[in-house]
């Protein structure tokens, strides 16, 4: 009888022990799961961080490219305004009369009164300086396709005429402003 009781108790104990082992296994599993979960969240957190970092740099890049665009737009506007001002200037608002030859051949680039647009300002230069420049452009000594192409179709007499005229621009302007 007692043997049976002992056997029963042992069996119970064994069952209990098995249950405990099973429980602790579960605990261990749980722990592992929790660790895995923690790892996962860590990875997520890390990813989140790097993502936010890249987003940040992308944002700053975007911002800088935006500011570059803004600056470019501003510069373009400034240039447009300058061009418009020059066009207005060139738009036959002459302070003094110029020869038809100058008006036709030179004014488009150097301005109606030699104030300069695409080409440099000519007003204020002496006739000698202008003549020298024209001769050098025509001979090719001074290289400029625009001026060379233009002057190649003009004769020496015209160059002299124009030089003499442009040399008087400054004086003419001063007389107009009196
Ligand atoms: C299509 C535009 C254009 C036309 C039209 C033009 N020029 Fe020019 N000219 C220029 C440019 C651009 C320069 C600057 C060239 C350089 O410095 O290499 C220049 C330079 C000059 C220079 C030298 C000025 C300096 O300060 O160095 C003189 C002088 C001149 N041009 C006279 C004339 C005369 C006179 C005419 C008319 C017959 C004329 N140009 C027509 C574009 C033009």
Domains of the chain: 95-177 (1.10.760.10)
Q: Which of 134, 126, 124, 140 is nearest to 157 (CA)?
A: 134
Q: Is the CB of residue 113 less than 8 Å from the CB of residue 123? A: yes
How many A from CA of 83 to the centre of ligand 1?
18
Distances 50 to 39, 54, 63 between C-alpha atoms, Å? 16, 6, 19
Distance CA 170, CA 165 (A): 10
pLDDT at 42: 67
**Burial class of 153 by CB neighbour count within 10 A (0 to 12, 13 to 18, 19+):** exposed
* Entry field: residues in the chain: 178
- The residue whose C-alpha atom lies closest to atom 34 belonging to ligand 1 is 106
pLDDT band at 3 (very low <50, low <70, confident <90, very high): confident
- What CA dihedral angle connects 163, 166, 167 and 170, to 10 degrees? -170
Distance 153 CA to ligand 1 centre (A): 14
Tens digit of each residue's pLDDT (9 = 90 or more) over 29-84: 777 776 777 677 665 555 555 555 556 666 666 777 888 888 888 887 876 666 56
Whole-number pLDDT of residue 151? 96
């Amino acid at each position: 009888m007692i043997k049976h009781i002992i056997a029963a108790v042992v069996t119970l104990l064994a069952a209990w022990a098995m249950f405990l082992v099973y429980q602790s296994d579960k605990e261990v599993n749980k722990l592992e799961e929790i660790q895995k979960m923690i790892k996962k969240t860590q990875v997520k957190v890390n990813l989140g961080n790097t993502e936010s970092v890249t987003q940040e740099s992308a944002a700053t890049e975007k911002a800088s490219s935006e500011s570059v665009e803004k600056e470019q737009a501003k510069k373009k506007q400034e240039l447009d305004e300058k061009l418009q001002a020059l066009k207005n200037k060139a738009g036959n608002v002459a302070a003094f009369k110029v020869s038809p030859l100058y008006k036709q051949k030179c004014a488009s680039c150097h301005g109606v009164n030699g104030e300069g647009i695409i080409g440099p300002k000519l007003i204020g230069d002496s006739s000698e300086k202008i003549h020298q420049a024209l001769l050098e452009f025509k001979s090719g000594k001074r290289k400029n396709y625009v001026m060379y192409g233009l002057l190649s179709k003009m004769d020496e007499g015209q160059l002299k005429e124009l030089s003499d005229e442009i040399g008087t621009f400054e004086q003419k302007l001063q007389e107009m402003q009196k």
